[in-house]
Chain A
């Protein structure tokens, strides 16, 4: 039998899927090999030594062996399990969203160390956010915006927000944003793009600041809530345009944000 090709890598587990009797297929994100799909054998049994290290949203040191189709996890040692995320609905739903974005924007066998760093940093920041139930939505929105902006930047989809995407000039006066064109569009060129949305001065400023610095920098800026909501909806529309589909985790995130109440589970006469 040929020698199994073993390799070592740090990884964040993005998602999992049950396979057969007791196995799971994991989708890992690694700094050197991009996305990797690997089988973790026997981890659904309670006595498995590995099960706690291969939970989704765990950062772990892994020893993997190359397989014909899927790689096989041979050992896993957790580095961080992001304990503060578990059991907190706002944080869990945001972390699912972060993982799904990475899954959607990356491909297998493609090195992206900065994106890996970005994911790990953002998960750590998410753990440290103070969640007092309702009052702290602002920081969650800012963290998600800075995460999305960084991810778009590192995967080559940074929107052009300094010049008009049609005429190339620095726009004067009111501007719009075109998801299909991937950036700003000035008033004169607006009818050249079909899908545009008006962009407020405050939101444009926030987009600029998102490019400048990360969450820690952003947190200190005095944004109005409607501005951050505008940017949130703009980035979401842009991502939707790029992926040509809705992300599944957004509906859960939004339903948690609207509040968990028994009213939505009442029978409505039927």
Chain B
């Protein structure tokens, strides 16, 4: 149907609209707007965008150690000798590494699972980067594993699974504390968070 409407469009324009339309969260209208914005854009800016898209596909690989997305293998974190190689922080997605790095509070290694166990979406333990984590831990260097997985039902199932998986190794396992977000209001806190916050209260 959309194709018919695009009949009177120049072929390159129609093609770009089509390509934008395939991206998540972009419908036909946004695709058209983005395309016409690009048509009016200076050539060098469009060139830079095209090159950026290509280099993302051509120059990016996944780090053989932490499975994070990187340009050089091993990635800058894994190859940094100043960081603590005895600790691994397990996260769901590459963006979680960025969020934790922004805190400057952690100087160890990472491991990106690229997902969580989600039976409702047919994602099981075999679909995560657990095999790589097993071989890293078997190296014997790592003494602590920090599970920084989202505190959702799926995340908790994944964390419990990992905990049970590595219990025989006898390394120190910990999870991020759960509590109240900064600047929030106690009366609006939900049951799960409040329960965990009381359980994990700290001595002052």
Chain A interface residues toward B at CB < 8 A: 14-15, 17, 20, 46-47, 49-53, 55-57, 78, 81, 83, 86-89, 92-93, 96-97, 99-100, 103, 248-249, 251-253, 255-256, 260-262, 264-267
**In the bound complex, how far is the Cα of B123 from the Cα of A252, in angstroms?**
9
Answer yes or no: B161 CB below 8 A from chain A CBs: yes
Check B9 for interface membership: any CB of A closer than 8 A.
no
B183 on the A face (CB < 8 A): yes
User: How many residues in B have their beta carbons less than 8 Å from beta carbons of A?
Assistant: 38
* Cβ contact within 8 Å between A89 and B134: no
Query: What is the number of contacts between chain A and chain B, taking CB atoms within 8 Å?
Result: 96
Q: Decide: A86 near B156, CB < 8 A? Known: A15-B120, A261-B165, A267-B135.
A: yes
CB distance from B196 to the nearest CB of A (A): 9
Flag if B160 contacts A92 (CB, 8 Å): yes
CB nearest to A55 among chain B residues: B153
B contacts with A: majority SS:
helix
A92 engages B181 (CB within 8 Å): no
Q: Given that A56-B153, A100-B120, A248-B120 are contacting pairs, would A78 and B160 also be in contact in the complex, using a CB cutoff of 8 Å?
A: no
A56-B154, A78-B191 given. 17 additional CB < 8 A pairs?
A46-B181, A47-B183, A52-B190, A52-B192, A81-B195, A86-B156, A87-B159, A92-B157, A93-B157, A96-B120, A99-B120, A100-B119, A249-B119, A249-B120, A252-B124, A260-B161, A261-B165
> B120 touching A81 by the CB < 8 A rule?
no
Residue ranges of B at the interface with A (Cβ–Cβ < 8 Å)? 25, 117, 119-122, 124-126, 130-131, 133-135, 138, 152-154, 156-157, 159-161, 164-166, 168-169, 181, 183-184, 188-193, 195
Could you say which of B120, B125, B169 contacts A255, with CB atoms under 8 Å apart? Answer: B125
Smallest beta-carbon distance B42→chain A, Å: 29
Closest A residue to B124 using CB positions: A252
- The answer to whether B134 and A253 have CB atoms under 8 Å apart is no
Q: How far is the CA of A3 from the CA of B165 in the complex (A)?
A: 53
Residues of A within 8 A of B161 (CB): 89, 256, 260
**Alpha-carbon distance A86/B175, docked complex (angstroms):** 14
CA distance A53 to B122 in the complex (A): 24
Residues of A within 8 A of B153 (CB): 55-57, 86, 92
Q: With contacts A47-B181, A260-B161 known, is A252 near B119, CB below 8 A?
A: yes
Provide the bound-state CA to CA distance between A20 and B119, in Å. Answer: 22
By a CB distance below 8 angstroms, the chain B residues around A266 are: 131, 134
B119, B125, B189: the one within 8 Å of A253 (CB): B119
A248 neighbours in B (Cβ, 8 Å): 119-122
Q: How far is the CA of A128 from the CA of B158 in the complex (A)?
A: 22
Q: List 8 A-B contacts (CB under 8 A).
A: A14-B120, A52-B191, A52-B193, A249-B119, A251-B124, A252-B117, A255-B125, A262-B138
A246 to chain B, nearest CB (A): 10
Q: Give the Cβ gap from B133 to chain A, nearest Cβ, in Å.
A: 8
Across the interface, name the chain B residue whose C-beta is closest to A17. Answer: B121
Query: CA separation between A99 and B153, bound complex, in Å?
Result: 13
Known contacts A53-B190, A265-B131, A265-B134; A251 and B157 CB within 8 A of each other: no
Q: Smallest Cβ distance from A129 to chain B, in angstroms?
A: 16
A96 touches B183 (CB 8 A): no
Report if A83-B157 is in contact (Cβ < 8 Å); known contacts: A248-B119, A261-B165: no
For the complex of A and B, list the 4 residue pairs with the smallest distance between their C-beta atoms, beginning with the closest: A52-B190, A249-B119, A252-B119, A248-B122
Residue among A47, A256, A262 making CB contact with B166, cutoff 8 Å: A262
Q: What residues of A have a CB within 8 angstroms of the CB of B166 in the complex?
A: 262
CA distance A92 to B119 in the complex (A): 10
In the bound complex, what is the Cα–Cα distance between A261 and B171 (angstroms)? Answer: 15
